[in-house]
Amino acid sequence: MARTIFEGALSDNAGVAWRLSRLIKARYPKKAVLDALHEPFNLTELVEGGQCEAAVSMDEHGSFHTSWSRAHGLSSRPEVAVMDVKWRGHALKAVVATWREGFEKESHTTIVADTIEIASAFADAGSRFCNHPEKAILQFTAGCWSKSHDLWKAVQASSFDDLILAGDLKERITSDFTSFLGAKDQFSRYGVPYKRGALLLGPPGNGKTHCLRALIKLLNIPCLYVMSLKSRWGEEDTHIASVFDRAREVTPCCLVFEDLDAMIHPQNRSFFLNQLDGLSNASGIITLATTNHAESLDPAIIDRPSRFDRKYHFELPKVRERERYLRMWNGRVARDLKLAPKELRGVARDTDGYSFAYLKELYLASMMRWMATPNAKSMLDIMNAEQVALRAQMTTASPTAPAAAAAGAKETS
């Protein structure tokens, strides 16, 4: 087999990029070479987005990462390969190479074209397309960015219309952010940094994620969603810097940290705070975070308004919210499964300490039991029996549930 372009370049970690560049230029002496493109340029995204066509070059051996999913079947992305690319009537080559340098995973794409102008134009157009999510959310996990169309669809399916929260919490949240979005000129006129941050906190199962996704949909600006700061390669500080650097490039945008308490710890907290403070010079960034365990967050995060301007508490629902939630579910089920208004009020009274998630499970479990033996018992009798089982499950899962159920909270600013 003929010697390929990659032999000798990827054999060890020292100077890989330099050696690879030298080999590419030797391989294509009459072509213009644009070296070492990094994120956000991603050839796979460009192909999937219909921005260009690409096929494996028959002149070079390539290796690919192949994965399978139920939704999409088999899919492959190049890791070490030369691709023949067609873009806007031009024939180019894209040399894709991924390797490790120490604990870091490096990924470069080198463009080979007839002229440097064509190579630069393709690189610029491709980077712009990949940098801005279109019907997708930029998701950060395992140290890398990717576009998630599934998460975008989940956000689009979320709505404030079917979200039940205590008092006027929903109205305060929507009013706060719609007012902020409409006040850009006023912020600029008075020299106030145009940024906003909110922390959604409270016990699990009480609507934080639903509210978060409905808010992302309401904002209708690009969203960067941080799933994790850990990876097999690279330090967490490096990943935190990557997250905030990308947010500054995409503005205006919404930057999301779900379960912030699981991401920030004493080893990375200082660097995270420095990056968060650095957003004061980045116009148009809305930072949203959720936590189930506010007590584990450092006071420097939770008690300083310039970092998260508002804290919204999602407490366990009181009897009025429980009745509204049960009534919503009652309106969706078949007539044989419906509860009478008096029965609904009784179930709402009996479910003190239930989160919305447990109320949903109560309804779903009761429906399944009823469908297994229809008309053997009334829906109310089944639901009362399921309450006993769920109450035992709640106590086992969280010994402090009674205390949490009794605890009340108010919005702080």
Judge residue 335's burial from the number of C-beta atoms within 10 Å of its C-beta, 0-12 exposed, 13-18 middle, 19 or more buried.
Answer: exposed
Q: Rounded mean pLDDT of 26-49?
A: 89
CATH 3.40.50.300 fits 149-313, yes or no: yes
The C-alpha angle with vertex 302 and arms to 260 and 239, in degrees rounded to 5, equals 35
Q: Which residues contact 362 (CB under 8 A, 6 or more apart)?
A: 347, 351, 354, 383, 386, 387, 390
Torsion angle defined by CA atoms of residues 20, 21, 27 and 33, in that order, rounded to the nearest 10 degrees: 150
Instruction: Name the packing angle between helices 341-350 and 319-330 (round to 10°).
Output: 130
Residue 67 has pLDDT above 50, yes or no: yes
What is this structure's pTM? 0.78
Instruction: Provide mean pLDDT across the span 355-378.
Output: 90
Residue 4: the pLDDT is: 64
Report the sign of the C-alpha dihedral through residues 319, 323, 324, 328, in that order: positive
Residue bearing the bigger pLDDT, 114 or 335: 114
- Interatomic CA distance for residues 54 and 57, integer angstroms: 9
Question: What are the pLDDT digits (tens) for 144-202?
Answer: 888 898 899 999 999 999 899 988 999 999 999 999 988 988 988 888 888 899 999 99
Is pLDDT of 341 > 50? yes
The per-residue pLDDT for range 189-244, each reduced to its tens digit, is 888 888 899 999 999 999 999 999 999 999 999 999 999 998 877 789 999 999 99
Domain ranges of the chain: 16-131, 149-313, 319-406
pLDDT in tens, 102-159: 666 778 899 999 999 999 999 999 999 988 887 899 999 988 888 898 899 999 999 9
**Model confidence at 402: pLDDT above 70:** no
Per-residue pLDDT at 237: 93
> What's at 206, amino acid-wise?
N
Q: What angle do CA 47, 53, 57 make, to 5 degrees?
A: 110
Structure tokens at 385: 């029996």
Q: Which residues pair with 73 in a beta bridge?
A: 69
